[in-house]
A and B are shown apart, each in its own frame.
Chain A
């Protein structure tokens, strides 16, 4: 029996307006985040992964449009919600952890107040009550000297502390899903582990589902149950982390794994992926074909569909076969 999906994205298409044309940047994306599970959305910069995340809450920049597709959260369709309805979802049901905490925080407002305002927006408490809740949250994310830190400004905190503040405001209204956009990229390596561990703890404490957008496979390896790999605006492979990482079916995934220094391959040196990442959606053929060693004519002609077993799918005409892998041969 399939797990209950908290978030279900179907056939998401996002376009950006350049001059008089509309250029697609996300194409036919299907993504699911089951309850209490952690999903990693992986890709290089330009792959469209951040756009997918922003589409969920309707936070796309002015010239970017959600052309088609559905985003269902707890059964309700978010794309047809009014701004007012969306506001009730934001923060209260879905929280966001941002990449650059310094940029995500208001530079002229005390950090404690920034957490408190989330509480006040979604629960009817007075200022004092909100302040207390904020301090409680700050303790929950392991921020030291809460009393003093409440009155600090963002620029006075370290990167790791700022990120914790962002996490605190993301969970302040007790959401059920947390969207994290490269939550550790701007941090030092040592702090990265701490923050990931914190996210993990909070997940189990609060029963949160997690959607992490990242380019770092190690994070997905460490924190996620399910992974979806994006390339040039499309999902090229998805499935359980263990399975995808041990037997990748798409050549891009395989290349990424080879290039990643820490995943499960001690002693093997990382190998770069040749060529530059494509940043535009390929309208014909597979976007990865120019860089793929196994590409042939059909790869340039026809866009492969995302197919495979129900749990592990890949969009490739020439899937990587490994023993014990009973994927259907060839393309669809």
Chain B
């Protein structure tokens, strides 16, 4: 339902020969990337910036506010909040990114197979999908982590078991469309075997959307890790983790609200950076 084209060829002023240029001009992509670089940089250099070990307790100075010694004050065990924030960031970010890989791979594979072969395989996979989708995300993740026992391993398993769904949907959709396009028919006519068609030809083209989604999925996964941490089901103490920091801090909301709110701000900032990158990417990759 767009306006009728006002002229035959709408030549947009774009430098199609240098895609990198276009990427560099995209404000969302650039801002997001810079922000991410700053954040990751701070985390990587954590030992240099903070000067305290995250688990170093100082029972003479518990629950103190921001000062020249401690940028964000100390928590209930006298540990430096700023240091904990940075180290926790390492944990959450790494897990967040790593935990997206398995659902991405599994989901995309299932989507590829379901879309390409169709028939019984498709029906089975889609019914399985319906069942998983029937459960609210967090409910299932929490239940699985509960069953398997808290910890990083369980987080990975739970997120994989629940998170593959979106990728399967996306990839299957793309495959269904691509199946009708010329290059698939041509490959088939050329006598290429099915797996070869799938991997060499279909895959690169249908994965774009999945990759774009993966960006926003990292944000969701980090949120899940943080939430599980808040509930005590995630990364176990004393390893600093934003979620468990917020849980600990929630008991001291009245006296030292910073304890619970600072980690959240960190999550928001990371989420902002990743979302900006995701938005920028989808704008750029969608331009083909």
Q: Which of B8-16, B34-42, B215-223, B263-271 contacts A (4 or more CB under 8 A)?
A: B8-16
Q: With A and B bound together, what is the CA distance between A100 and B5 in angstroms?
A: 13
Q: Are A18 and B13 in contact (CB under 8 A)?
A: yes
Min CB gap B25→A, angstroms? 11
Interface residues of B in 69-99 (CB under 8 A from A): none
Does B3 interact with chain A (Cβ within 8 Å)? yes
Min CB gap A100→B, angstroms? 8
Does A279 interact with chain B (Cβ within 8 Å)? yes
Provide the residues of chain A in CB contact with B139, threshold 8 Å: none
Does A46 interact with chain B (Cβ within 8 Å)? yes
Q: Are A25 and B13 in contact (CB under 8 A)?
A: no
Q: Are B8 and A99 in contact (CB under 8 A)?
A: no
Provide the residues of chain A in CB contact with B1, threshold 8 Å: 103
Q: With A and B bound together, what is the CA distance between A100 and B1 in angstroms?
A: 10
Does B4 interact with chain A (Cβ within 8 Å)? yes
Q: Are A279 and B13 in contact (CB under 8 A)?
A: no
Q: Are A51 and B6 in contact (CB under 8 A)?
A: yes
Min CB gap B124→A, angstroms? 36
Instruction: Given A61-B3, A103-B1, decide whether A21 and B13 contact each other with a Cβ distance below 8 A.
Output: yes
Interface residues of A in 107-153 (CB under 8 A from B): none
Min CB gap A15→B, angstroms? 12
Provide the residues of chain A in CB contact with B4, threshold 8 Å: 50, 99-100
Summarize A's interface: helix, strand, loop or mixed.
loop
Q: Are B7 and A280 in contact (CB under 8 A)?
A: yes
A102, closest chain B residue (CB): B1
Instruction: Given A61-B3, A103-B1, decide whether A45 and B13 contact each other with a Cβ distance below 8 A.
Output: no
Min CB gap B21→A, angstroms? 13
Summarize B's interface: helix, strand, loop or mixed.
loop
Does A64 interact with chain B (Cβ within 8 Å)? yes
Min CB gap B112→A, angstroms? 36
Our pick among A19, A25, A100 for the contact of B6 (Cβ within 8 Å) is A25
Contact with B along A57-69 (1 / 0, CB 8 A): 0000100100000
Provide the residues of chain B in CB contact with A320, threshold 8 Å: none
Q: With A and B bound together, what is the CA distance between A46 and B199 in angstroms?
A: 43
Does A277 interact with chain B (Cβ within 8 Å)? yes
Provide the residues of chain A in CB contact with B5, threshold 8 Å: 45
Q: Are B3 and A25 in contact (CB under 8 A)?
A: no
B9, closest chain A residue (CB): A279
Q: Are B13 and A19 in contact (CB under 8 A)?
A: yes
Instruction: Given A18-B12, A19-B13, decide whether A279 and B7 contact each other with a Cβ distance below 8 A.
Output: yes
Contact with B along A275-301 (1 / 0, CB 8 A): 011011000000000000000000000
Q: With A and B bound together, what is the CA distance between A230 and B246 in angstroms?
A: 69
Min CB gap B136→A, angstroms? 31
Min CB gap B5→A, angstroms? 7
Q: Are B12 and A279 in contact (CB under 8 A)?
A: no
Provide the residues of chain B in CB contact with A100, threshold 8 Å: 4
Does A89 interact with chain B (Cβ within 8 Å)? no
Q: Are A46 and B13 in contact (CB under 8 A)?
A: no
Provide the residues of chain A in CB contact with B12, threshold 8 Å: 18-19
Q: Are A50 and B6 in contact (CB under 8 A)?
A: yes
Q: With A and B bound together, what is the CA distance between A277 and B5 in angstroms?
A: 14
Interface residues of B in 1-55 (CB under 8 A from A): 1, 3-9, 11-13
Extra contacts besides A279-B7, A279-B9 (5): CB < 8 Å: A18-B12, A19-B12, A19-B13, A50-B6, A280-B7
Nearest 8 pairs of A and B residues by beta carbon? A19-B13, A46-B8, A46-B7, A279-B7, A279-B8, A18-B13, A61-B3, A45-B8
